[in-house]
Amino acid sequence: MTIPGIQRLDAADTQAGGQERPFSKAVRAGDFVFVSGQVPTRDGEVVVGNIAVQTEVVIENIKEVLALAGCGMEHVVKVGVWLDDARDFSSFNAVFKKHFSIHPPARSTVESPLMVDAKVEMDVVAYCPLKG
């Protein structure tokens, strides 16, 4: 069933072993784009590295998903962050600031156990008016 004004943008990539994941990378609802939680993966595998390396991968993944909706980082209005270890907060912030220094969004950050070897997960909400 399709609902007017709601567009599901690309199914989530398969995870390691080819198992499908049952959600969209993002959903556009009118002028808002909701990006599913992004973890530091490439080709279904968690990228090995410290919090800075993994945060860069997560942000690149977010940029790719936003591009599916015709949006960029300047459209992001809210970010949710999960850190596996609260001691990574400062290092995470240093990377985050590089990408959001001009247009800082609202943000929530919590400590939470994450999937194996992932140190960070982020989801975003973007306000990206449809061209009409």
Class of residue 73 by CB neighbours under 10 A (exposed 0-12, middle 13-18, buried 19+): middle
- Which value, to the nearest 10 degrees, does the dihedral of the CA atoms of residues 57, 62, 64, 68 take? 170
pTM recorded for the entire structure:
0.89
Residue holding tokens 């449809």? 130
Pairing state of beta strands 24-29 and 32-38? antiparallel
pLDDT for 5 equals 79
SS3 61: helix
The number of C-alpha atoms within 13 Å of 48 and in the hemisphere containing its C-beta is 0
**Amino acid at site 51:** I
Question: pLDDT 10s per residue in the chain (132 long)?
Answer: 577 778 878 765 555 455 566 678 899 999 999 999 999 999 888 999 999 999 999 999 999 999 999 999 999 999 999 999 999 999 999 999 999 988 899 999 999 999 889 999 999 999 999 875
